């Protein structure tokens, strides 16, 4: 066989491996219920919050929420900053919003990655990093499997968060 024939044969054999990747259903999304508890202290400052999802290879696929007051404080969200923030200034500008007071919040991840592509079915990890000046630092994670089956996970409260509810829904 010639080199070209061998290359075509290898490509044809590998094609079924690539064809096995299936995107999550078009109607699938994740609803997140997120609480910042009221903390009684004389030095209370609103926390900086980063919420993102990584795939099974620990690569960030989407930053869902990013609440910071000023750019200089982004580095305080250490884990998110090391994984995502320092590499993608456009993304930071696109997703950053102001810090939030104590309260209950709800947001949705549409199942798209940072490039606007629907993610593949498989194993992912939900992350929330919450840091408060003169306060605590919490780094929370929840493994999840995205497929054609809905689920709900609850992440236990911490000193800086209430219960976080992650609901994978398929309409």
pLDDT band at 113 (very low <50, low <70, confident <90, very high): very high
38 in a domain, yes or no?
yes
**Domain harbouring 61, CATH code:** 2.60.40.4070
Q: Measured at the alpha carbon of residue 33, what is the angle toward residues 101 and 126, in degrees to the nearest 5?
A: 105
Q: Report DSSP state, residue 68.
A: -
Write the DSSP string, 74-101.
GGGSHHHHHHTGGG-HHHHHHHEE----
Residue 13 Cα to chain centre, angstroms: 34
Question: How far is CA 85 from each of CA 10, 38, 64, 167, rounded to the nearest angstrom?
Answer: 38, 28, 13, 26
Task: Output the pTM of the full model.
Answer: 0.83
Please check whether residue 10 lies inside any domain of the structure: no
Structure-block tokens of residue 68: 């910071």
Residue 94: pLDDT band (50, 70, 90) is low
Unique residue bearing structure tokens 């250490």: 78
Strands 164-170 and 60-67: unpaired
Query: Structural domain of residue 101, as residue ranges?
Result: 25-170
The tally of domains found in the chain comes to 1
Residue 148 inside a domain? The answer is yes
Q: For residue 13, what pLDDT is reported?
A: 54
Cβ pair 67, 100 in contact under 8 A: yes
Provide the H-helix boundaries in 20-165: 78-83, 89-95
Indicate whether 60 belongs to any domain: yes
**Per the domain annotation, does 15 fall within a domain?**
no
Residue 97 near residue 46, CB atoms below 8 Å: no
Residue 99's pLDDT band (cuts 50, 70, 90): confident
Gap between the Cα atoms of 93 and 72, Å rounded = 13
* pLDDT tens digits, one per residue of 126-146: 999 999 887 788 999 999 999
Residue 73 in contact with residue 48, Cβ under 8 Å? yes
Q: Does 105 reside within a domain?
A: yes
As beta bridge partners, residue 28 has: 170
Q: In the sheet that 96-97 helps form, which strands lie side by side, from edge to edge?
A: 96-97, 60-67, 48-55, 122-131, 137-146
């Amino acid at each position: 066989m010639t080199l070209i024939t061998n290359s075509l044969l290898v490509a044809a054999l590998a094609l079924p491996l690539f064809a096995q990747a299936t995107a999550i259903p078009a109607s699938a999304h994740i609803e997140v219920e997120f609480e910042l508890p009221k903390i009684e202290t004389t030095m209370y400052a609103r926390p900086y919050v980063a919420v993102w999802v990584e795939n099974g290879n620990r690569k960030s696929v989407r930053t869902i929420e990013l609440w910071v007051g000023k750019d200089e404080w982004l580095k305080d969200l250490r884990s998110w900053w090391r994984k995502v923030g320092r590499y993608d200034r456009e993304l930071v500008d696109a997703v950053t919003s102001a810090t939030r007071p104590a309260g209950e919040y709800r947001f949705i991840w549409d199942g798209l990655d940072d490039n606007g592509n629907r993610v593949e079915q498989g194993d992912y990890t939900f992350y929330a990093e919450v840091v408060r000046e003169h306060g605590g630092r919490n780094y929370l994670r929840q493994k999840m499997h995205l497929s054609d089956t809905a689920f709900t996970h609850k992440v236990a409260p911490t000193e800086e968060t209430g219960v976080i509810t992650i609901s994978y829904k398929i309409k």
